[in-house]
Amino acid sequence: MTTRRVLANAIRALAMDAVEKANSGHPGMPMGMADIAEVLWNDFLQFNPGNPKWPNRDRFVLSNGHGSMLQYAALHLSGFDLPMSELERFRQWHSKTPGHPEAADTVGVETTTGPLGQGIANSVGFALAEKLLAQHFNRPGHDIVDHRTYVFAGDGCLMEGVSHEAASLAGTWKLGKLVLVYDDNKISIDGEVEGWFTDDTAKRFDAYGWNVIGPIDGHDAEAVKQAFVQANAQSEKPTIIICKTIIGFGAPNKEGKEEAHGSALGKSEVAAARDMLDWRYPPFVIPDEIYAAWDKKKIGAEREKKWNDAFAKYQAEYPELAAEFVRRTASELPKDWASKSQAFVEKMQADGPDVASRKASQMTLDAFGPLLPELIGGSADLAPSNLTMWKGSKTITGPDGNYVHYGVREFGMSAIANGVALYGGLLPYDGTFLVFSDYARNAVRMSCLIPAHVIHVYTHDSIGLGEDGPTHQPIEHISSLRLIPNNRLWRPCDAAESAVSWKVAVERKGKPSCLIFSRQTLKHQQRTAQQLADIQRGAYVLSDPADTKFKAIIIATGSEVELAMEAARTLAQQNIPVRVVSMPCTEEFDAQPAEYREAILPGWCRARVAVEAANADFWGKYVGLDGAVIGMTTFGASAPAPILFEKFGFTVAHVVDTVKKVIG
């Protein structure tokens, strides 16, 4: 007889077998949450294995991603294109079943999880995106955006501070279609958590404005089912279902213990668990009747067809809205984007305003915002300072809102933005001071790893912010963000470069960017049409001697480009010709063909000086052993910006002297 417990045991067996074969992994959580997963996947979760990207599917997020075999087993059993051979290759080179769920590797995985707590924040982003798109596109009798987000999480997720930030916002935003299942097994790697985690979770989430269900017995399928029914019966509050479970359920000598958490059970314990669970099948063998009970290919196709039929009626009645929905869910930019965005870039070059790049960023948003209805902005309580609000910004508390006030929650903001981006149909950007990117950095890293099309806006980019002093003056942050693979960090030197950085970031489909803007005013630089076009290549020649060969190259970014240009003019008066290279995005420059890179930084010229009011060590690969770097090697200080630049050596005289030394 195929009972619910037998269906759940299929997850337990696959988790045991995969971890045992890999001799690596976490069997305890999948075994403990198997009964909950079986109820969710078989009775509630709406999806189509034949089309994992069906727009109106429910989203499932495994925040406690170390228990990845639970998700892989459920995907395999329900009919996704994840064959048993991939489960047998769990945690192996180039398998589709990595140690933690990765959206780029495994069909049906919505987001990459692993760093605990961020899956909760991603799920808040999914639920927020669903609510925003429903408000925008749904019409009476046409609920084309209407589904739920479910997230599994454990003790570790709730201990991480990012869960507090995200859960607080979810309650404030009344994300009633978000359901969090808390695996309350009281065990972490160090043992029983009662020594370090005594929070009253129910009261905590009640205080956030959540609907709290439980504690319930997470191994009682009927109790779990009724909890989901209760959660889905209301729409005003997100719901947490607190489930008491036994980690490693079914392993007689290790269940309920930390030994079941993060390592293979061992052959003898796996055999004992098979006896205890009455699972009489060899490793990686699932009987046909169990497959048949789990299979969702037919019902999934029927669900999608029903939605497609409803969408066809919507399309007939609201053709423009339907076309916009299709465009946005396909992550395609508007047809007039390319021409209009380029026209604005050219206007910024022609107008030549001397403004802080944070102001140039806002001017660009004023121009680009009306072109991009999918644009969703936000800031961690600093909108008046980082100028992330534009003329068309509307707080999301109302219909068609497009701006999120995240409060002082940099980490939660960035992780939520990742979820919004992954959901589709929206292009999120967030904002804070650059120095506070430290709070958000792991979520930025996840933007790059997943990857997710998020634009992270950071202002007050150097000691140039002045009197607030070293606590607010970023030193190592630009270099730190540049080190993240798959990132693109832009530090523009004026309004034109600022506009280009926004344009390129918007067009970087499916991948993130960090835009770094100044507090202080930056002088406009003159350019030819070719120089303007070359900005997007990450580096270009901004100035060359007119009639002679240059003897040195000054490389600069941001506010230091103006300094480099002044130094070049002074050197020219002393008959020392130099080239000035503006390098707003080192990663983009590094990705250019070798011929272009050689044309900008020719190998024959080893007299090079890099100038950037940030960590000096980064620039060695561009200046070489014969060059020099004018940068920061200490923290900043509290003083007006002009004084700081002088005291830390960012002066024309110092650049001139340094160039002379490298030439000599």
Residue 308 lies in a domain: no
Q: What is the pLDDT of residue 399?
A: 64
Q: Do 484 and 548 reside in the same domain of the chain?
A: no
Answer yes or no: do 546 and 515 share one domain: no
Q: Which domain holds residue 574?
A: 536-663
553-567 burial: b if 16+ Cβ within 10 Å, else e: bbbbbbbbbbbbbbb
Rounded mean pLDDT for each run of 10 residues along the chain, 664 residues in total: 93 98 98 98 98 98 98 98 98 98 98 97 98 96 98 98 98 97 95 94 98 98 98 95 98 96 96 97 98 98 98 98 98 98 98 98 98 98 97 85 96 98 98 98 98 98 97 98 98 98 98 98 98 98 94 98 98 97 98 98 98 97 97 98 98 98 95
Among 493, 522, 551, identify where a domain stops: 522
Both 264 and 352 in one domain: the answer is no
What does the chain come to in residues?
664
Nearest to 424 by CA among 365, 377, 374: 374
Residues 441, 509: one domain?
yes
pLDDT for the residue numbered 397:
80
CA distances from 529 to 86, 345, 350, 364, 536 (A): 52, 11, 10, 19, 12
Say whether both 359 and 237 belong to one domain.
no
In the block, residue with structure tokens 């140690």: 99
Residue 226 lies in a domain: yes
Going from the C-alpha of 236 to that of each of 173, 211, 231, 538, the distances in angstroms are 9, 9, 10, 47
Q: How far apart are CA 230 and CA 240, in angstroms?
A: 11
Q: What is the pLDDT of residue 400?
A: 77
Output the pLDDT for position 2: 85
**Residues contributing to the annotated binding site for thiamine diphosphate:** 66, 114-116, 156, 185, 261, 436
DSSP state of 23: T
In angstroms, what CA-CA distances link 577 with 40, 525, 580, 582, 629? 70, 19, 10, 17, 19
515 touches 458 (CB < 8 A): yes
- Residue 648: inside a domain, yes or no? yes
Q: Tell me how many domains the chain contains.
A: 3
Same domain, 242 and 370: no
Question: For the domain that residue 596 is a member of, what is the CATH number?
Answer: 3.40.50.920
Please check whether residue 306 lies inside any domain of the structure. no
What pLDDT shows up at residue 1? 62
Domain match, 517 and 542 both: no
| Other beta carbons within 10 Å of 529 | 9
Do the strands 187-188 and 178-184 form a parallel or antiparallel pair, or are they unpaired? Answer: unpaired
Whether 542 is in a domain gets the answer: yes
Residue 227 lies in a domain: yes
Residue 500 and residue 604 in one domain: no
Residues 541 and 518 both lie in one domain: no
> Is 130 a known active-site residue?
no
| 469, 493, 522 - which closes a domain | 522
For the annotated binding site for substrate, the residues are: 26, 261, 358, 385, 460, 468, 472, 519
DSSP class of 427: E
- Residues 562, 620, single domain; the answer is yes
In a domain, 130, yes or no: no
Does a structural domain hold residue 512?
yes
**Domain harbouring 212, CATH code:** 3.40.50.970
Same domain, 651 and 576: yes
Q: Give the domain-ending residue among 298, 323, 351.
A: 298
3-state secondary structure of 179: strand
Q: Are residues 213 and 110 in the same domain?
A: yes
Q: Which of 110, 410, 560, 562 is catalytic?
A: 410
